[in-house]
Structure 1
């Protein structure tokens, strides 16, 4: 048995990342068929990282993307 943080499947797939503005915040998102998935938040305010709507892995609402 092998334990790893890297996924076993899907390593050959190219992931498309985009830096976008979401709800007034500068974020890095991964483009998928379901929409954008939040990967990273660029902020110097520690409170921004505690927001529920800015959790990594969240599918972003299209209406809030600029």
Structure 2
């Protein structure tokens, strides 16, 4: 048995992260086959963390994406 903080197996494919503004909040998202999925929320407003539309793993609606930071 191996105990390690590092993953033993390499990731299957590289992940492309994108920073964007979604519905007025800055987020980190990843592109999937179903669209952008939230990975991280950048906010100091507690109400944003309680909004169920901004939970990590949520697939985003394209109409609410304001801008994508490259």
Question: Which interval holds the TM-score relative to the shorter structure?
Answer: 0.7 to 0.9
Q: TM-score, normalised by structure 1?
A: 0.81
Misfit runs of 4+, over 2 Å: 6-10
Aligned residue pairs, count: 66
Q: TM-score, normalised by structure 2?
A: 0.77
The Cα RMSD (Å) is: 2.5
In structure 1, runs of 5+ residues without a counterpart are 1-5
Greater C-alpha Rg: 2
In structure 2, runs of 5+ residues without a counterpart are 1-5
